[in-house]
Amino acid sequence: MAKQPPIPYDFLPEVPALTVESDDVSDGRPMSDDHVFDDWGMKGRNLSPHLRWSGAPEGTKSFAVTCFDPDAPTGSGFWHWVLFDVPADVTELPTGAGSAEGEGLPEVAVLGRNDYGTQAYGGAAPPPGTPHRYLFAVHALGVERLGLDPGTSSAVVGFNITANTLARGYIAPVYET
């Protein structure tokens, strides 16, 4: 299995690559306003993008899906979406699956708390004049459940995702105001 190439500021352990595709976003291309936050002066639709993935290794028991902005001026990036405990037989999420209602998500999947403080997808909202990358990552995990509450901090969820990752893939669209 091919290795996922590192991205700048990616200090995660190297693991085999998943293939991640989307009908809504493309690697290195600008995101539409559909995936932009609908607050903080932004006027987007706040919809998580469609994602599908393939190439999970043997032993995959669940998936996690995250969206992280490594360019956020926080010193620690910004978590826009934290989803975990997605069953291993799920390989696609529809546009908008990250809504607080979780439409299109399997019942057992957990929408974790993002850095906006909500349990949903929170769209792009970078400061004016600075392009940001939004890393939509899918993580194949070797456990069925992380055993975490939905309100657990995204950093702790991220730690547990990394500790259980068998493979990872991502799409990194960009957005600038």
Average pLDDT, the chain: 92
For residue 54, give both structure tokens.
Answer: 């393939």
Q: Is 143 within a domain? A: yes
- Total tally of structural domains belonging to the chain: 1
Query: Residues, the chain, total?
Result: 177
Euclidean distance between CA atoms 172 and 68, whole angstroms: 9
Instruction: Supply the CATH number for residue 85's domain.
Output: 3.90.280.10
What average pLDDT does the segment 151-162 reach?
Answer: 96
Q: Is 33 within a domain? A: no
Q: Is 14 within a domain? A: no
Q: What is residue 9's predicted lDDT score, i.e. its pLDDT?
A: 47
Burial profile 125-164: b = 16 or more Cβ within 10 angstroms, e = fewer: bbeeeeebbbbbbbbbbebeebebeeebebeebbebbbeb
Euclidean distance between CA atoms 158 and 164, whole angstroms: 10
Q: Is 78 within a domain? A: yes
Q: What is residue 46's predicted lDDT score, i.e. its pLDDT?
A: 94
Per cent of the chain over pLDDT 90 is 80
Q: Is 1 within a domain? A: no
The pTM (predicted TM-score) of the whole model is: 0.92
| Strand (E) or helix (H) holding 154 | helix 154-163
Cβ(135)–Cβ(5) below 8 Å: no
For the segment 2-46, what is each residue's pLDDT rounded down to a tens digit?
665 555 445 678 899 999 999 999 999 999 999 999 988 888 999
Give the Cβ contact number of residue 113 at 10 Å. 19
Q: Is 25 within a domain? A: no
Q: Is 144 within a domain? A: yes
- Domain hosting 82: range is 39-175
What average pLDDT does the segment 160-170 reach?
Answer: 97
Q: What is residue 1's predicted lDDT score, i.e. its pLDDT?
A: 59
User: HSE on the CB side for 128, CA within 13 Å?
Assistant: 3
For the segment 116-131, what is each residue's pLDDT rounded down to a tens digit?
999 999 999 999 888 9
Q: Is 12 within a domain? A: no
What average pLDDT does the segment 163-176 reach?
Answer: 96
Q: What is residue 102's predicted lDDT score, i.e. its pLDDT?
A: 84
